[in-house]
Amino acid sequence: MKPVPNKGVLDIEAYVPGKSRAPEGIELHKLSSNETPLGPPPAAREAALGAAARLELYPDGQASALKQAIAETHALNPKNILCGNGSDELLGLLCQCYLAPGDEAIHTEHGFLVYAIQIRARGATPVVAPETNATADVDAILSRVTDKTKLVFLANPNNPTGTYLPFDEVRRLHAGLPGNVILVLDAAYAEYVRRNDYGAGIELVSAAENVVMTRTFSKIYGLAALRIGWMYGPEAIVDALDRVRGPFNLNAMAIAAGAAAIRDRAFVERAVSFNAEWLEWTTRELEARGLAVTPSVGNFILIHFPNEPGKGAAEADAFLTQRGFILRRVAGYGFPNALRMSIGSEAANRGVVAALDEFLSGRAA
Ligand SMILES: *Cc1c(COP(=O)(O)O)cnc(C)c1O
């Protein structure tokens, strides 16, 4: 006799975060988890330190100050907002509330790995919809819906590809789903997208009973360490998750810092312009060196390496790591010969391009 975890748990391949170590004595440029090189808005840091003065008190279990700041910024009703310990927690709560053993949930071929982990944790089955040109394919998703399907996860834009679905395609996806299936729009990188045909999903959530949008403070707001995410959804879904979540799922520093960060709109604008400039520059420079780069609307790029001995992603990764540039291996996402690079500081972006130049020309191993 020995304890046995629930069905599905041991089928999970544990999430492996981006590496964060450089060799001793070498300056580290962490470009492996899509964090921003700009840090958080200064007011957010001050707010976190202010909250640290009263660590003996439980935080506000409703995270009201944060919800209010989000509601004001995006012109939403706070009743439709639920905050989470990172948006990862909200993705898990959706699975906890809506999936049972035997159910199915769909995600796309190169979709964010957290979906499959949380689906399996409920004893449910992840169903993979193939992508077309490393982009979600609405028809492929719809053709995989069965009467067991309860959730459809769509990261838009997707990580690690950086590709996105135009909003009319998202609408078509929603229109093809039965009313009992929840469409989860994971818009972790929404702030970065500068395309007229993109929408994070707010209008669709407002008009439907079965769509939610998740957002995060880990990326453009530079607060990954504090773990802050939020969901915008119909009251019935918000209510279900609210019953199941931990009563104090956001800590006091997170609530204070998040509320301060989202109010700094000038900071977001600067971060978006900085990213647009360096996303374009880095893509162009790498392509000029013969590397294929998947066109990205996020703050990261997927770089494909040649299928030649000594020139592959694993060798490039080792070469870059030796020089302090930590990128992300993405074999687990179905790209064994690519690396994902977060757009970093000017020095980091220039450094990676120079190092890859050296790597490809075959000098110094
Ligand atoms: C980074 C990321 C998140 C954010 O997760 P947090 O738990 O909020 O830090 C969510 N979805 C995708 C696709 C991401 O890349």
Tokens coding 304: 């494909």
CATH number at residue 124: 3.40.640.10
218 lines ligand 1 (CB under 6 A): yes
161 lines ligand 1 (CB under 6 A): no
Q: Domain range spanning residue 325? A: 26-39+266-361
291 lines ligand 1 (CB under 6 A): no
Stretch 231-247: mean pLDDT: 98
Distance CA 216, CA 230 (A): 6
19 part of a folded domain: no
Of 263, 297, 318, the last residue of a domain is 263
Of 263, 283, 303, the last residue of a domain is 263
153 lines ligand 1 (CB under 6 A): no
Q: Within this chain, do residues 213 and 325 fall inside the same structural domain, yes or no? A: no
The pTM (predicted TM-score) of the whole model is: 0.96
Asked if pLDDT for residue 20 goes beyond 80, the answer is no
Provide the pLDDT for residue 121. 97
Q: Within this chain, do residues 82 and 135 fall inside the same structural domain, yes or no? A: yes
Provide the pLDDT for residue 364. 47
Q: Within this chain, do residues 230 and 280 fall inside the same structural domain, yes or no? A: no
User: For 73, how many CA atoms within 13 A lie in the half-sphere containing its CB?
Assistant: 19
Which of 215, 211, 202 has its CA nearest to residue 176?
A: 211
2 part of a folded domain: no
For the chain, the C-alpha Rg in angstroms (whole number) is: 21
The rounded mean pLDDT for the chain is: 96
Stretch 109-121: mean pLDDT: 97
17 part of a folded domain: no
Q: Within this chain, do residues 233 and 304 fall inside the same structural domain, yes or no? A: no
15 part of a folded domain: no
Distance CA 308, CA 124 (A): 40
Q: Within this chain, do residues 286 and 214 fall inside the same structural domain, yes or no? A: no
Q: In angstroms, what CA-CA distances link 177 with 103, 139, 147?
A: 16, 11, 11
- Residue 201 CA to ligand 1 centre (angstroms): 16
- Residue 365 CA to ligand 1 centre (angstroms): 35
3 part of a folded domain: no
9 part of a folded domain: no
213-237 CB burial, b ≥16 within 10 A, e <16: bbbbbbbbbbbbebbbbbbbbbeeb
332 part of a folded domain: yes
Stretch 311-337: mean pLDDT: 96
Stretch 97-110: mean pLDDT: 98
11 part of a folded domain: no
- Residue 200 CA to ligand 1 centre (angstroms): 14
Asked if pLDDT for residue 208 goes beyond 60, the answer is yes
Ligand 1 nearest-atom number relative to CA 217: 8
Q: Within this chain, do residues 254 and 276 fall inside the same structural domain, yes or no? A: no
Q: Within this chain, do residues 338 and 243 fall inside the same structural domain, yes or no? A: no
Ligand 1 nearest-atom number relative to CA 33: 1
- List the residue whose alpha carbon is closest to atom 15 of ligand 1: 159
- Residue 344 CA to ligand 1 centre (angstroms): 18
Question: Which H helix or E strand runs over 183?
Answer: strand 182-186
Provide the pLDDT for residue 363. 55
Which of 40, 300, 262 has its CA nearest to residue 163?
A: 300
Tally the domains of the chain. 2
Of 212, 239, 263, the last residue of a domain is 263
CATH number at residue 335: 3.90.1150.10
Residue positions counted in the chain: 365
